[in-house]
Amino acid sequence: MKFFIDTANLDQIAEAQQLGCLDGVTTNPSLMAKEGIKGNQNVINHYKAICDIVTGDVSAEVISVDYQGIINEGKALVEIHPQIVVKVPMIEQGVRALRYFSDHGIRTNCTLVFSVGQALLAAKAGATYVSPFIGRLDDISTDGLGLIEEIREVYDNYGFQTEILAASIRHTMHIVNCAKIGADVITSPLSAIKGLLKHPLTDIGLEKFLSDHRKSQ
């Protein structure tokens, strides 16, 4: 399973990269705004800075919602750096654009996916990644992880190559459960990734090893 970090914060991206387990980054307009990135040139520079830190895929989202606008933006985004993957919303014009990008060798991440039907359409249109938002489904008392399971089943039925990128991860157990049910990728806040490190018996065991070592000196 690939680990992506879901942020535009350069310090957190660098910390995740240094951990040695990072496979990529996902951003979105909200995450870019949170870092105060405004204006076309600043956005481009920020994507370049992210690509300089990580070695894997970096999802950059289009703002346009019309077909030609999505195509133009996507083409401009992939010119920034070879690691850029064009993030396209799950709307009708987005699906058309996914097909265009796929036919032209441009990698895509279909975002804002909340149903199996949407995931099926994204795969049919040749999306590289599909991003079901599991946390936002949980927020409205529906089953985010259940959606990942259903998409896994459908993709496996037909051998779709589109990778299931579990997004809107809220906590460490989301990551563990996504791994158990076969998500190809998770994109997560750094805190949930670092949560995987934690076990009280590790802390107790290490303290005992170190105190025994000190006593033997």
Q: What residues line the site for ligand G3P (CB under 6 A)?
A: 6, 26, 28, 133, 135-136, 167-168, 187
Helices 144-158, 116-124: axis angle to 10 degrees equals 40
CA–CA distance, 150 with 131 (Å, rounded to integer): 13
SS3 category, 123: helix
CB of 173 to ligand G3P, least distance (A): 15
Q: Which is nearer to ligand G3P, 142 or 202 (CB)?
A: 142
CB of 205 to ligand G3P, least distance (A): 34
Query: Could you confirm whether 87 is annotated as catalytic?
Result: yes
CA–CA distance, 112 with 145 (Å, rounded to integer): 15
Helices 10-19, 40-53: axis angle to 10 degrees equals 10
Instruction: Measure Cα distances from 192 to 96, 128, 197 in Å.
Output: 34, 25, 10
Nearest Cα neighbor of 112 from 84, 139, 86, 91 is 91
In the block, residue with structure tokens 């999802």:
59
Q: Which is nearer to ligand G3P, 26 or 162 (CB)?
A: 26
Q: Which is nearer to ligand G3P, 138 or 150 (CB)?
A: 138
CB of 30 to ligand G3P, least distance (A): 6
The answer to whether 90 touches 112, Cβ cutoff 8 Å, is yes
Q: Which is nearer to ligand G3P, 155 or 188 (CB)?
A: 188
CB of 101 to ligand G3P, least distance (A): 19
- Please compute Rg for the chain using Cα positions: 19
Catalytic residue among 2, 34, 87, 180: 87
CB of 25 to ligand G3P, least distance (A): 10
Instruction: Pick left, alpha or beta for residue 81 (phi over 0 → left; psi -120 to 50 → alpha; otherwise beta).
Output: beta
Q: Which is nearer to ligand G3P, 51 or 60 (CB)?
A: 60
Going by the DSSP 8-state scheme, the letter that residue 142 receives in this structure is S
Query: Which residues participate in catalysis according to the annotation?
Result: 87
